[in-house]
A and B are shown apart, each in its own frame.
Chain A
Amino acid sequence: MTGQAHAAPREEAPPIEAPREIPPDWEPSILAFACHYCAFAAADLAGVMRLSYAPNVKIIRLPCTGKLDHSYVLRAFERGVDGLFVAG
C-alpha cells in the first residue's frame, strides 16, 4: 500500500469471473440511474414526444447522481443486471 520494500509483492489475483458463452438471442439488462433534474427530465421528455427507446433499459430516478451509493450498484449486479448507466 505504501510502496515500501517490506510490503510483500501481491500475487496476481485470479479473475473474479470466468467469461461465459453468450447465447445468440441475448439482450443485456441495463439499469439507468438518472438525475431528477437533467437526465430523468430528458427521459421524461422522450416519453412526452413519443420517442421509443430500447425496452431492456430500466430507469430509476435519483434526486441527484450524488445520491448514488456503492450498495445500489452492487445490489443491481447481484440481482442480475448486466450494466449500469448513470446519467446526471
Chain B
Amino acid sequence: MIVGEQKPIEELWESIKGHQKVLVFGCNTCVAVCQQGGNKEAEILASLLRMKATQEGVEMEIQDSGIERQCEHEFFEKAEGRIQWADAVLSTACGIGVQFMAEKYAKPVYPGLNTTFLGAVEKLGHYVERCQACGQCILAATGGICPIARCAKRLLNGPCGGSTKGHCEINKDVPCAWQLIVDRLQQLNLMERYEDLAPIKNWSTDRAGGPRKLVREDVQL
C-alpha cells in the first residue's frame, strides 16, 4: 500500500487560509491503513483546522468528506456535491489522489500528506518500505528481498563494507538488505546464486525513463 504522513497543521493552514469554503477530503484505501489521510482522519483534521481558524480569527467554512479511492473516477460521484460546494480542497490522499483530483476539478487542490513510500504493515503502527516500483522486478534473484528498496545504496551484487551485525551503516534500526538476502538464500539452500553477477540494470523502466504508463487494450470499454 501507499504510506503517507500528515503534514504539520501550520503548513496546511498556510495552504488553505485564504479560502472561504474548504473541503478536507479523505481517501479511504491505502493511506487510511496507516491511519493518515483516511475519511476518519479527514474528519479530525477538518475539526483541528476549524479550531485553528477560530484562533486565527479567520471566517471560513471547513467541511470534511471522503471516498474510497481518489485515484479512480467512479468513486467521486457520491461526493460530487461537497466538492462543488468548496472553493478549495485539502486532499488527504497520496500524491496520486491529489493530482487526480486537481485534474478533475478547476479549483485548488492542496496536499494534506507527504506521500512517503510503498510499504507494508510490519506490526500495528510500524510501516516499512518494500518496493520502489522500478518496473523490472529482480526479487527472483535476491531471495524475495529487494535491495533496491531496502539497501541505502541499492547495491545489486552484495553488501557494502558497512554492513555490521545485520544492520545498515546508515542507522542501527535499518536491517542490512544484503544480510537478509544472504540469510534467506542460505535458508533456501540457494547460496550458489549469490555469486551470479547481477546484470547492469536497465533503469529506463524506473523513474529515469520518464512517466510510466500501462495500457490494457483488452480491458478497455
Instruction: Give residues in A with beta carbon < 8 Å to B.
Output: 1-6, 10, 13-14, 16-18, 70-71, 74-75, 77-78
Contact = CB atoms under 8 A, between A and B. Distances in A.
Given A1-B5, A71-B44, A75-B47, A16 B129 contact: no
A70 B64 CA distance: 14
A2 B127 contact: yes
Contacts of B116: 1
A78 B10 contact: no
A4 B174 contact: yes
Interface stretch (B49-57, B78-86, B140-148, B158-166): B49-57
B143 to A, nearest CB: 22
A1 B171 contact: no
B63 to A, nearest CB: 13
Contacts, number: 46
Contacts of B190: none
A5 B129 CA distance: 13
Given A70-B43, A74-B47, A2 B128 contact: yes
B155 to A, nearest CB: 16
Nearest to A18: B55
A1 to B, nearest CB: 5
Interface residues of B, number: 24
B132 to A, nearest CB: 12
A28 to B, nearest CB: 17
B40 interface: yes
A4 B40 contact: no
B43 A78 contact: no
Contacts of A2: 127-129, 173
Given A2-B129, A4-B174, A5-B171, A71 B10 contact: no
A14 B10 CA distance: 8
B52 A16 contact: yes
A78 B50 contact: yes
Contacts of B47: 71, 74-75, 77-78
Contact of B44 (A3, A10, A70): A70
A67 to B, nearest CB: 15
Given A1-B5, A18-B55, A78-B47, 19 more contacts: A3-B173, A4-B170, A4-B171, A4-B173, A5-B152, A5-B170, A5-B171, A6-B152, A13-B8, A13-B9, A13-B10, A16-B52, A16-B55, A17-B55, A70-B40, A70-B43, A71-B47, A77-B51, A78-B51
Contacts of A1: 3, 5, 116, 127
Given A5-B152, A17-B55, A74 B173 contact: no
Contacts of A14: 10
Interface string B29-47: 0000000000010011001
